[in-house]
């Protein structure tokens, strides 16, 4: 992959990071990267290890976890706030990535994370797909070994 493609892919990834709560689809992201949708999807997966949709949902669930830890919004309100349009799909994806339902996550005490800087909490609470191990990845607060390559 050439440098120009990586720059364009990063532009689309940055768009996801900024606008995760807005309706984003592959054609819109591909336009931001100045690529065809098919080429964009293949290149994004090759560069970042997951599909654009998977990356978007990971960002949404990551933000949902932060909102649920605060506890001021209901699960339904959090679902809408992060850009999901279906509570059922949101709950299913949340449970898949986090290992517990949004309601159970919200009900659990998160007071132990308060003195930890937000940037560190974000690293250690980032949702990790089942079956994918990244160097230094953590799931549910438990360190996972780096994959042998």
Mean pLDDT, the chain, rounded, equals 83
Structure confidence at residue 9 as a pLDDT band (50, 70, 90):
very high
Percent of the chain with pLDDT over 90: 67
Residue 8 to residue 56: CA distance in whole angstroms: 17
Checking if the pLDDT of 21 tops 90, the result is yes
Structure confidence at residue 37 as a pLDDT band (50, 70, 90):
very high
pLDDT of residue 111: 72
Kindly report the CA angle at 20 between 57 and 93, in degrees rounded to 5? 20
Over range 69-80, report the average pLDDT.
93
Checking if the pLDDT of 133 tops 60, the result is no
Domain ranges of the chain: 3-49, 57-143
Decide if 102 contacts 89 (C-beta within 8 A).
Answer: no
Q: At what angle do helices 52-70 and 87-98 cross, to 10 degrees?
A: 90
Q: Whole-model pTM?
A: 0.73
pLDDT of residue 147: 45
Architecture, CATH, for domain 57-143? Orthogonal Bundle (1.10)
pLDDT of residue 139: 43
């Amino acid at each position: 992959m050439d440098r120009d493609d990586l720059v364009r892919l990063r532009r689309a990834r940055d768009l996801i990071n900024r606008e995760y709560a807005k309706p984003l689809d592959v054609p819109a992201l591909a336009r931001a990267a100045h690529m065809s949708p098919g080429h964009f999807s293949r290149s994004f997966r090759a560069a970042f290890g997951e599909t654009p949709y998977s990356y978007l949902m990971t960002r949404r669930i990551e933000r949902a976890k932060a909102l649920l830890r605060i506890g001021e919004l209901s699960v339904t309100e959090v679902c809408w706030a992060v850009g999901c349009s279906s509570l059922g799909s949101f709950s299913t994806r949340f449970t898949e990535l986090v290992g517990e339902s949004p309601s159970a996550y919200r009900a659990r005490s998160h007071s132990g994370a308060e003195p930890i800087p937000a940037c560190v909490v974000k690293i250690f609470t980032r949702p990790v797909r089942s079956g994918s191990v990244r160097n230094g990845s953590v799931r549910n607060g438990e360190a996972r070994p780096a994959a042998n390559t």
